[in-house]
Amino acid sequence: AQSVAQPEDQVNVAEGNPLTVKCTYSVSGNPYLFWYVQYPNRGLQFLLKYITGDNLVKGSYGFEAEFNKSQTSFHLKKPSALVSDSALYFCAVRDPNTGGNNRLAFGKGNQVVVIP
């Protein structure tokens, strides 16, 4: 079964400082990994994904994530956080070998608070 762990409930960071949101995963095969962001009263918005290739992937709004197979991690990073980055962040994994259901297994989410 596929699963995701986001160990921290909330991440506090000062504006302008680097932001890291942690994610580890468990799947039986090679994973498809995604990060989504959720702003208040809105649905989830896609940020970036790792399917194959370069372990460092770049996404929307200056975010990037690094895939580490040996540590089964896919941490989200941003070099310089903005107050507008304050939101709920979800990591998700898809095992490509589980048939036609494009089901994503989500972590519980991390609330990011960027302090001015």
DSSP 1: -
For residue 13, the minimal CB distance to other proteins (Å) is: 22
- Residues facing residue 78 across a β-bridge: 19
Positions in the binding site for other proteins (CB under 8 A): 4, 32, 34, 36, 41-46, 49, 51, 90, 94, 96, 100-104, 106-109
- Is the Cβ of residue 99 or residue 116 nearer to other proteins in the bound state? 99
The answer to whether the CB of 19 falls within 8 A of the CB of 114 is: yes
Going by DSSP bridges, is the β-strand pair 10-14/110-115 parallel, antiparallel, or unpaired?
Answer: parallel
For residue 7, the minimal CB distance to other proteins (Å) is: 13
- Is the Cβ of residue 18 or residue 61 nearer to other proteins in the bound state? 61
For residue 49, the minimal CB distance to other proteins (Å) is: 6
- Is the Cβ of residue 16 or residue 103 nearer to other proteins in the bound state? 103
Contacts for 55 with CB less than 8 Å, ≥ 6 apart: 66, 67, 68, 69
